[in-house]
A and B are shown apart, each in its own frame.
Chain A
Amino acid sequence: MTQTVEPTHRQLGMTDSEFDSVVRILGREPRPAELAMYSVMWSEHCSYKSSRRHLGRFPTEAPWVVVGPGENAGVVDIGDGWLAALRIESHNHPSYVEPHQGAATGVGGILRDVFTMGARPIGLWDQIRFGPLDEPKNRYLFGGVVSGIADYGNAVGVPTVGGEIGFDPCYSGNPLVNVMCLGILKRDQLVLGTAGTPGTVAVLLGNSTGRDGIGGASVLASASFDNESREKRPSVQVGDPFEEKKLIEACLELYTKGLVVGVQDLGAAGLSCATSEPAGRAGVGMEVDLDAVHVREPEMTAPELLMSESQERMMAFVDAANVEQVLEVADKWEIDSAVIGVVRAGDTLTIRHKGEVVAEIPAASLADDAPLYDRPRARPSELDDVWATEPRLPDDLDLADAVLRLLDDPAIGSSAWVHEQYDHMLFLNTIVGPGADGSLLRVKGTNKGLAVSTDGNGRLCQLDPRRGGARLVFEAALNVAVIGAEPMALVDNLNFGNPEKPEVMWQFVESVAGISEACESLGVPVVGGNVSFYNETEGVDIYPTPVVGLLGLADPVPNEPPRIDRAEEGMEIWEIGPEPTASLAGSSAERIVLGTLTGRPTAPDPEVARQVIGLVRELAHTVPVLHDVSDGGLAVAIAEICIASEVGATIELGDPSLLFSEDPHRVVAVFEHGAVEPPGDIARRIGTVGGVALTLGDATIDIATATDAYREAIPRRMTS
């Protein structure tokens, strides 16, 4: 048998026509280091070549947007001289290969995106999804991801204050790990990823460079998984939160002292990206000497140095006169530093190694000339049949038993097993922490608070990616409204299957449209995002799972923000929002009771959404309990209030379909009789707090039993 050797560009994941583009740009065959740089920068992960065309659909402008998409993080003005920086990113594939380190380095990466902007990171949120916990492999992945987030986040000293956990068989071979970070900075400390003007010096700060994750961006995040991936994986990146902590403090000191012109973090594509992007943005060229880079391993080649994804590294661009001071700050914080390059006029990025030029390319071409694909799209043919099949609960359903089964579901039950492993209190800002609808952090020295909700729902989006995408935005907006905040800016993490399949591409474009329409109707700009394609295993795609992270501003912070543990005997229970339909399409009850996924989710109504959000935001200042109706519908929302408040309730409604419906724009409010008078057209009294049981029509559930199911949902599975 004859062995055919793949040409190098194909081994690096590049198509023949992409290779031809490189030859055209350079006017010659690329050198090995040049080919390496183009291959990582033009990978799906770095170039967004399949998605870029569609991301322009997002509304990105508002008077308070300071930095929109395209930089390391989005930045908005929250008043009083403060800005907030936010970003979300996925680490799905690395977390499958090595869950602990994959999740840990995901946290490290998103932190760098935020402190690159001049901000101090003040909160992290994790959106994590796995296959069912009855499979040992999924328990291993879940446990590893949680411990990785805990080890890194706790030690680096940034509190993890919220997030969401989901389980579905579609994530068994491809877990989702999305991390969002929020930072704050004074207005005059904003730093951009620019290389500055000719003469500016490039200083590499932080960890030494090793062969970590060589080709990670292109190999791991831009291709499908199969059983061979364990063999062909690149060496896994290991996170060092201690190094990152020192790097954060050193960078913040550099910003305070005004010592940097621009900063770029080293993430995917490492030095290739951290040299070409800032130079491209500034419209300048650059000379880089790879021999100056501090390395961990001997004998590294130029392509390896340029592609390495070693963690905890930053590139600072510094006026020549300030270099000594920058190196002193690095020394004080006990991090390594090296002057590795200088900015030149023109547009050429010249890289030398061992005295020879190994790359000489137009700096901007790595980003600007990246391929752009308009991949074919097709609406899945089976969708009409799916929509026509409305899920129906059996007539003889045991309602009490069904409620207990929902409470015992690890996606619905208490997340304490997870969030008590995370430091969620550091910095003394956490007014509302993990386990609530949204999180609320105070902004010290002001009356303001920053609220964040992260939301995803692959089932809704599988059934209808447009409605599903829109409903995520409305749900997140309601989640920040219940703690008194007005929606302000959104970041998204678009987790999808293989974009080379027309159905996946259709799902993607529909989701983007749904998210865009909802954002437009609420006046919320999208300030950044991330796309993760190729989330498939053995040819089976995950459900389309866009995740949104919504930032809201509470001004002022309610004196006593509503909490679900403040219901008391005798209080009234109200439902605020439209009357639900009996639709269970995509709901948790459909998943848990019926085990199906059919029907068409109820359409959101932007007009009603705005009305409810406005009303709820006002109520947040007076009402003790407000709780968003989402997974498990009214039944679960009220059960959660009862469990947290250690008291029963009586609800007149006994129709399981209405109790489990997850129709949008609804909130449960609990308050003393007459304390507030919600408008009758959008609110109705549905019950009373009291006793030791939850009564739903004819069904009765003992609160102690419900509490046990809810609290043990995750621990009992993880310790079995």
Chain B
Amino acid sequence: MRTAVVQFPGTNCEHDVVEAVTALGGSAELVWHRDTDLSDFDGAILPGGFAHGDYLRTGAIARFSPVMTEVFRLADSGAPVLGICNGFQILCEAGLLPGALIANRDLAFICRLVEVEVADTDTVLTRTATVGQRIRIPLNSYEGNWVDPTRRGRVVLRYVDDPNGSQQQAAAVANDRGNVVGVMPHPERAIHDFLGSSDGNLLLEGFLHSLAPA
């Protein structure tokens, strides 16, 4: 079971995601945004960072990268596709997730550990969690404020204390099938107690379990 970790120019959390997945016994490999064949992979993670410098709009340019054709195919096939932070923004721009991410309510970048509550466990990110469970993972974003005028999005994780104005206090959102999930805080940054929390492992384990045939 192999996970493609997609690297766009300007992505910067790709090595952390590979480390976190590997530490849990998973197999993850970097793929460059110009790659056009992900047939060897069972799922994909779009990591955080600043793809194309976040210029124009965050995710707007990355959404047209050649690799996205394969990300669409994986999503269509029901394979797990996870976007973290900037990856979440790209999935929204690509239309794989509803809504869009705009600047934080206080117009400042926020980097700190936040508490979130699991709202939905029928997704590839939360299948090993329980509804109402509270976990701590770090937020690290400027455009982390999710808005969804259609109100169609499934909220997967909610902030306990609203840090950025996100609609329904959403910290993670899924598509209808629950196989495509965008999460604003970084589970891969909470994998050791010495980093302040190891709660992110719960979410990444959910993702890895989803790679296995149902």
List A residues at the B interface (Cβ < 8 Å).
Answer: 150, 154-157, 240-243, 245-246, 332-334, 416, 419-428, 430-431, 442
State whether B16 touches A428 (Cβ < 8 A).
yes
Q: How far is the CA of A144 from the CA of B138 in the complex (A)?
A: 25
Q: How far is the CA of A554 from the CA of B32 in the complex (A)?
A: 36
Q: Which residues of B contact A240 (CB under 8 A)?
A: 53
Q: How far is the CA of A425 from the CA of B54 in the complex (A)?
A: 20
Q: How far is the CA of A242 from the CA of B53 in the complex (A)?
A: 5
**What are 15 A-to-B residue pairs whose CB atoms are below 8 Å?**
A154-B109, A154-B142, A155-B53, A155-B54, A157-B13, A157-B49, A240-B53, A241-B50, A245-B12, A333-B9, A416-B112, A425-B140, A425-B195, A428-B191, A431-B194
Q: How far is the CA of A431 from the CA of B195 in the complex (A)?
A: 6
What residue in chain B is nearest A154 (Cβ atoms)?
B109
State whether B140 touches A157 (Cβ < 8 A).
no
Interface string of B28-71 (1 = CB under 8 A from A): 00001000000000000000011011110000000000000000
What residue in chain B is nearest A430 (Cβ atoms)?
B195
State whether B10 touches A155 (Cβ < 8 A).
yes
Whether, in the assembled complex, B189 has its beta carbon less than 8 Å from a beta carbon of chain A, the answer is yes
Q: Which residues of A contact B186 (CB under 8 A)?
A: 425
State whether B13 touches A426 (Cβ < 8 A).
yes
How close is B84's CB to chain A, nearest CB, in angstroms? 12
State whether B195 touches A334 (Cβ < 8 A).
no
State whether B50 touches A157 (Cβ < 8 A).
yes
Q: How far is the CA of A334 from the CA of B110 in the complex (A)?
A: 29
What residue in chain B is nearest A245 (Cβ atoms)?
B10
How close is A372's CB to chain B, nearest CB, in angstroms? 43
Q: Which residues of B contact A427 (CB under 8 A)?
A: 15-16
How close is B150's CB to chain A, nearest CB, in angstroms? 30
State whether A422 touches B109 (Cβ < 8 A).
yes
Extra pairs beyond A157-B13, A242-B50 (17, CB < 8 Å): A150-B109, A155-B50, A156-B12, A157-B12, A245-B10, A245-B50, A332-B32, A419-B111, A420-B109, A421-B109, A425-B140, A425-B189, A427-B15, A427-B16, A428-B191, A430-B195, A442-B194
How close is B105's CB to chain A, nearest CB, in angstroms? 14
Q: How far is the CA of A427 from the CA of B17 in the complex (A)?
A: 9
Whether, in the assembled complex, B1 has its beta carbon less than 8 Å from a beta carbon of chain A, the answer is no
What residue in chain B is nearest A153 (Cβ atoms)?
B109
Q: Which residues of B contact A422 (CB under 8 A)?
A: 109, 111
State whether A246 touches B111 (Cβ < 8 A).
no
- 10 nearest A-B pairs in the assembled complex, by CB-CB distance: A242-B53, A157-B12, A155-B50, A421-B109, A420-B112, A242-B10, A423-B111, A150-B109, A425-B189, A428-B16
State whether B109 touches A428 (Cβ < 8 A).
no
State whether B189 touches A246 (Cβ < 8 A).
no
State whether B111 touches A428 (Cβ < 8 A).
no
Q: Which residues of B contact A420 (CB under 8 A)?
A: 108-112
Interface string of B4-30 (1 = CB under 8 A from A): 000001101101100110000000000
Q: How far is the CA of A242 from the CA of B12 in the complex (A)?
A: 11
Q: How far is the CA of A156 from the CA of B49 in the complex (A)?
A: 9
Q: Which residues of B contact A243 (CB under 8 A)?
A: 53
What size tier do the contact residues of chain B reach?
20 to 34
What residue in chain A is nearest B20 (Cβ atoms)?
A428
How close is B192's CB to chain A, nearest CB, in angstroms? 7
List B residues at the A interface (Cβ < 8 Å).
Answer: 9-10, 12-13, 15-16, 19-20, 32, 49-50, 52-55, 108-112, 138, 140, 142, 186, 188-189, 191-192, 194-195
Q: How far is the CA of A707 from the CA of B12 in the complex (A)?
A: 35
Q: Which residues of B contact A423 (CB under 8 A)?
A: 109, 111, 140
What residue in chain A is nearest B193 (Cβ atoms)?
A560
Q: How far is the CA of A428 from the CA of B191 in the complex (A)?
A: 9
State whether B9 touches A246 (Cβ < 8 A).
yes
The B interface is mostly helix, strand or loop, or mixed, namely mixed
Task: Specify which of A243, A245, A416 lies most central, judged by the most chain B CB atoms within 10 Å of its CB.
Answer: A245
Q: How far is the CA of A421 from the CA of B141 in the complex (A)?
A: 9
Q: Which residues of A contact B49 (CB under 8 A)?
A: 157
Q: How far is the CA of A422 from the CA of B109 in the complex (A)?
A: 7
Q: How far is the CA of A245 from the CA of B11 in the complex (A)?
A: 9
Q: Which residues of A contact B32 (CB under 8 A)?
A: 332
How close is A358's CB to chain B, nearest CB, in angstroms? 35
Q: Which residues of B contact A416 (CB under 8 A)?
A: 112
Q: Which residues of A contact B192 (CB under 8 A)?
A: 428
State whether B111 touches A421 (Cβ < 8 A).
yes
How close is B56's CB to chain A, nearest CB, in angstroms? 12
With A154-B50, A157-B49, A157-B50: A242-B55 Cβ-Cβ less than 8 Å = yes
Task: Specify which of A155, A240, A243, A428 lies most central, judged by the most chain B CB atoms within 10 Å of its CB.
Answer: A428
Q: Which residues of B contact A155 (CB under 8 A)?
A: 10, 50, 53-54
How close is B113's CB to chain A, nearest CB, in angstroms? 9
Q: How far is the CA of A431 from the CA of B15 in the complex (A)?
A: 18
Q: Which residues of B contact A419 (CB under 8 A)?
A: 111
Q: Which residues of A contact B13 (CB under 8 A)?
A: 157, 426
Q: How far is the CA of A423 from the CA of B86 in the complex (A)?
A: 14
Q: How far is the CA of A590 from the CA of B5 in the complex (A)?
A: 55
What residue in chain A is nearest B13 (Cβ atoms)?
A426
Q: Which residues of A contact B20 (CB under 8 A)?
A: 428
Q: How far is the CA of A240 from the CA of B10 in the complex (A)?
A: 11
How close is A151's CB to chain B, nearest CB, in angstroms? 8
Task: Specify which of B12, B13, B54, B191 lies most central, judged by the most chain A CB atoms within 10 Å of its CB.
Answer: B12
How close is A346's CB to chain B, nearest CB, in angstroms? 41
Q: Which residues of B contact A426 (CB under 8 A)?
A: 12-13, 16, 140
Q: How far is the CA of A155 from the CA of B15 in the complex (A)?
A: 15
Q: Which residues of A contact B194 (CB under 8 A)?
A: 431, 442
Q: How far is the CA of A241 from the CA of B12 in the complex (A)?
A: 12
Q: Which of B15, B19, B52, B138 meets A425, CB within 8 Å?
A: B138
Q: Which residues of B contact A442 (CB under 8 A)?
A: 194
State whether B108 touches A421 (Cβ < 8 A).
yes
Q: How far is the CA of A277 from the CA of B73 in the complex (A)?
A: 52
Q: How far is the CA of A187 from the CA of B23 in the complex (A)?
A: 26
Q: Which residues of B contact A431 (CB under 8 A)?
A: 194-195
Task: Specify which of B16, B54, B111 lies most central, judged by the most chain A CB atoms within 10 Å of its CB.
Answer: B111
How close is A455's CB to chain B, nearest CB, in angstroms? 23
Q: Which of A242, A333, A428 meets B19, CB within 8 Å?
A: A428
Task: Specify which of A245, A421, A423, A431 lies most central, judged by the most chain B CB atoms within 10 Å of its CB.
Answer: A423
State whether B111 touches A424 (Cβ < 8 A).
yes
What residue in chain A is nearest B52 (Cβ atoms)?
A242
How close is B196's CB to chain A, nearest CB, in angstroms? 8
What residue in chain B is nearest A561 (Cβ atoms)?
B194
Q: Which residues of B contact A245 (CB under 8 A)?
A: 9-10, 12, 50, 53
Q: How far is the CA of A428 from the CA of B195 in the complex (A)?
A: 7
What residue in chain A is nearest B50 (Cβ atoms)?
A155
How close is B168's CB to chain A, nearest CB, in angstroms? 24
Q: Which residues of A contact B138 (CB under 8 A)?
A: 425
How close is A333's CB to chain B, nearest CB, in angstroms? 7
Q: How far is the CA of A240 from the CA of B20 in the complex (A)?
A: 29
Q: How far is the CA of A44 from the CA of B32 in the complex (A)?
A: 44
How close is A641's CB to chain B, nearest CB, in angstroms? 19
What residue in chain B is nearest A559 (Cβ atoms)?
B194
Q: How far is the CA of A427 from the CA of B9 in the complex (A)?
A: 17
With A240-B53, A242-B55: A334-B9 Cβ-Cβ less than 8 Å = yes
Q: How far is the CA of A157 from the CA of B14 in the complex (A)?
A: 11
Q: How far is the CA of A241 from the CA of B13 in the complex (A)?
A: 15
Q: How far is the CA of A189 from the CA of B138 in the complex (A)?
A: 33
What residue in chain B is nearest A242 (Cβ atoms)?
B53
Q: How far is the CA of A430 from the CA of B195 in the complex (A)?
A: 6
Q: How far is the CA of A155 from the CA of B9 in the complex (A)?
A: 11
How close is A167's CB to chain B, nearest CB, in angstroms? 20
State whether B195 touches A246 (Cβ < 8 A).
no
Task: Specify which of A156, A246, A425 lies most central, judged by the most chain B CB atoms within 10 Å of its CB.
Answer: A425
Q: Which residues of A contact B140 (CB under 8 A)?
A: 154, 423, 425-426
Q: Which residues of A contact B109 (CB under 8 A)?
A: 150, 154, 420-423
Q: How far is the CA of A63 from the CA of B180 in the complex (A)?
A: 54
Q: Which residues of A contact B12 (CB under 8 A)?
A: 156-157, 245, 426
Q: How far is the CA of A119 from the CA of B140 in the complex (A)?
A: 25
Q: Which residues of B contact A332 (CB under 8 A)?
A: 32
